[in-house]
Amino acid sequence: MSIPRFPVQILCVALWNLAPVSWVDAGSPALSFDFARVAECHISADDLLTDQRPYEKIVELKLRVSVHLLRGAIEDVEEVRIEVTDCDRKVRVHSFDPGTRLESALGADIEWTKTTEGSKSLGASIGGAVPVPAGELVAKISPSLSGGLSNREVITEVQQRLAPQQAVVASGTVDQEHGVFFKLRNTPQNTLEGTHDLSIRFVVPQHWRGDAVRVCCYAVGYEKILWIKQQTTWAELCAPVTLYLAGDEEARRAAERQNSRNQARSQTKFSLGQWML
């Protein structure tokens, strides 16, 4: 008896439907990211290499990333991580903003006061009774000696302690300074939803007119599966961003054409993925 053969597509759908369902909280957050796919770069004011290295210059990229909360609570998102990397390693990171920044939940430093009080005293007395021969009279003689020494000491110690701080922004380089990362943390004084302005300065060749970098955004938090909390990625987006030097119209048109090809390529992959499912 021959075994019937099913198309690969039907088999994939069947396996997908039989996949186990995880016990995930229905209130899990859902987010979306947005940023421009074509961006211009300006000659940086920090371009100090032109005198020392005439074959290099510094260009500045200003990238605006928007975080949109679609469902759930933004407080459930622990941090948003943004990475900007040069895949072919043609440019090198010179500097970036924002840098690592610490903030405190307290309005001022903590003042601690300790008061210690001590006292000392000393005293003595002597007394007695002496009989008198006349009748039943008794003369009471009460000589006394008393001396006192008292000392009261109050010590007040005041200490001022720095309020504890936590990182609301952490940033640094990756891939041997060919990329940079930004970690934006969720705090009571800081919200992750909204627009975040990033500035990256690259060291490029003097004849540089344009290039492309890869921008990846991740929203990380914890989800409860059954009774265990596990770290998870609520949302992610990776896409190329084509760059061009401001004022160079030919480079701008070339960057826009490359962006159109990138979008067509991503749509083709998406259609193929749908067909495979």
Tell me: the pLDDT tens digits for 205-257?
999 999 999 999 999 988 877 777 788 899 999 999 999 999 999 999 999 99
Tell me: the pLDDT tens digits for 20-72?
333 345 578 899 999 999 999 999 887 666 565 778 899 999 999 999 999 98
Pairwise CA distance, residues 220 & 223, whole Å: 10
Fold adopted by 26-106+166-270: Immunoglobulin-like (2.60.40)
Tell me: the pLDDT tens digits for 249-258?
999 999 999 9
Neighbours of 2 (CB within 10 A): 4
Domain residue ranges of the chain, discontinuous segments joined by +: 26-106+166-270, 110-160
Buried b (16+ CB within 10 A) or exposed e, 72-111: bebebbbbbbbbbbbeeeebbbbbbeeeeeebbeeeeeee
